[in-house]
Amino acid sequence: MGGTFPRIWFDGLQSLRGMLFLLVFVSHSGAFFRTDGAYGAMAVSAFFVLSGFLCGTSREERSGSLPAQCIGSLWRKLRRFWPVYAAMLPVAAMLNPCGGWDFLKCLFLVQSYFGDAETALRLNWPTWFLSSILLSYLLSPVLVRVSRGLGRHAPWAILSLWAAELCWAWFWRGTKAAVTDPGYYWVYVCPLARLADFAMGTILGECFLRRRQNCDGVSVPPVFRECLVAFLAILSMLCHARFPVSFSGSALWAPVSVSLIWVFALREGPLTRACGAKWLMWTGRRSFELYVGHRMVLLFVCKVAAASPVARRMAVCSGGRS
């Protein structure tokens, strides 16, 4: 094998990807039914952790110096998803126009690096995720090296990163759920803030590999573990409104994200195995394309519905009564 290790893939994570996309889709569908944007925030946090987890479980040996590995990591990810992303930009420009300078920022995927959420959410606004995660992919070889050196201290490193996220959320505790609020950017969008989620995933991946190599010891029954994680996820979604917006933007979801990825990667219990439906697995495999395109489809439907004769008559009638 030339010193390389085969890349590990987990079927359970495909179904988890599908569920995370559905959470994003539901949170973005407020024009059609009552929903909660925090569900999407949970999914975004989990996507960052999941991306780091996949990097942390990869055992592909990369040649060259560490800076060359960092650039290579960034290039491999860009080469994979930029063509699909760029193909959607003309559609986004027609449905959600912006200035030429903002279009160039989006074209080169740097819209998340200008210090405000309004710039990050130009054009196809959910794709700020792709812009912000580029920093994580650039630094992933460094994070993987650090994760491998943590040894038995790895769980404490994850807790330390979560503590840092909690402190950052506390600093911005007065944040409002609006893109014009500076805290919305610094907690939810900022690539440096999101790097913590990605780093948690990288360390979690190393923990997972160590667990697979050392299977001795007492193990928690899978059904109990999965029920506990499901309870934690449901409880977090039900109680998130009790926390400041800065917490529900990122830090609140870290324990849920780490726990979900762990149990779905193991896929040892009945709950995770029951999520192996073909349609959900397909959604997971196509989650990137669906993520890039879904918001533009929703916006197009909204515009068509608003332009329909029935909608115009309803608007006139409601305007006359007001």
- The alpha helices in the chain, defined as continuous H runs, are 11-27, 37-57, 66-95, 100-107, 117-120, 128-150, 154-171, 182-184, 191-213, 222-239, 245-248, 254-266, 270-274, 278-285, 287-307, 309-321
Residue 258 clears pLDDT 80, i.e. is over it: yes
* pLDDT mean over 193-213: 92
Q: What is the pLDDT of residue 218?
A: 53
Question: What pLDDT is stored for residue 316 in this prediction?
Answer: 35
User: Which residues are CB-contacts of 216 (< 8 A; sequence separation ≥ 6)?
Assistant: none
- From 229, 218, 216, select the one nearest 267 (Cα to Cα): 229
Mean pLDDT computed over 205-221: 77
Confidence of residue 211 (pLDDT cuts 50, 70, 90): confident
pLDDT band at 216 (very low <50, low <70, confident <90, very high): low
Average pLDDT, the chain: 87
Any idea what DSSP says for residue 241? G
Q: What is the pLDDT of residues 227-246, one digit of tens each?
A: 999 999 999 999 998 999 99
Q: Write down the domain spans for the chain.
A: 11-321
Between 54 and 219, name the one with better pLDDT.
54
pTM: 0.90
pLDDT, tens only, 282-301: 999 999 999 999 999 988 88
User: Tens of pLDDT along 305-317?
Assistant: 776 554 444 333 4
- Joined together, the tokens standing for residue 120 give 């990050």
Rounded Cα gap, residues 166 and 168, in angstroms? 5
In sequence order, which residues have a C-beta less than 8 Å from that of residue 85 and are 6 or more positions away?
109, 124, 127, 130, 292
* 38 confidence band (pLDDT: 50, 70, 90): confident
Residues of the chain with pLDDT > 90, as a percent, come to 68
How many Cα atoms sit within 13 Å of 321 on the Cβ side? Answer: 5
Residue 198 has pLDDT above 80, yes or no: yes
Residues 47-74: what's their mean pLDDT?
A: 89
Of 142, 112, 164, give the one whose Cα is nearest residue 102. Answer: 112
Residue 4 corresponds to which amino acid? T
